[in-house]
Amino acid sequence: MKGHGTKFARKKEAAIAALLSHRTLEEAARAVGVSPNTLLRWQQDLEFDTAFRKARRAAFGQTTARLQQGSSAAATILMKLMLDANTPASTRVRAAEIIVNHAAKAIEIEDIEARVAALEASAATGQRR
């Protein structure tokens, strides 16, 4: 849009931050000083949508990293509950089930990663020919 320059770009960046930090579109729009309809229109813009999705992935990545940091403590708690004879049997069974399910999922993910790596290597070899 002509005449808006960097101020307009800053407004859109502020809108992305507001969308990530407010519960509703209306609250985000109010925080940025635009109408909800303007914010909806911006969300339909490919460039804005791409930037918003990138910012959302980055925020989610930080959340995932925090959860991963706590996973060792969580595993320790599950193991203690499972092995403690004073823990109710239903809780011990649930802890064991969680441990087995997550271990199985980890193996599945490792297998998928290996298969994808093999496919990528095969595709790369095929492209060089």
**pLDDT tens for each residue of 44-90:** 999 999 999 999 999 999 989 999 999 999 999 999 999 999 999 99
| Within-domain flag for 21 | yes
Same domain, 18 and 63: yes
Tell me the pLDDT tens digit for each residue of 22-33.
999 999 999 999
**Number of independent structural domains in the chain:** 2
Q: Could you tell me the residue range of the domain that residue 48 belongs to?
A: 1-70
The span from the CA of 88 to the CA of 95, in Å, is 11
Same domain, 102 and 41: no
pLDDT at 128: 72
Same domain, 57 and 88: no
Same domain, 66 and 89: no
pLDDT at 46: 93
31-33-37-39 Cα dihedral, nearest 10 degrees: -60
70, 98, 119 — which closes off a domain? 70
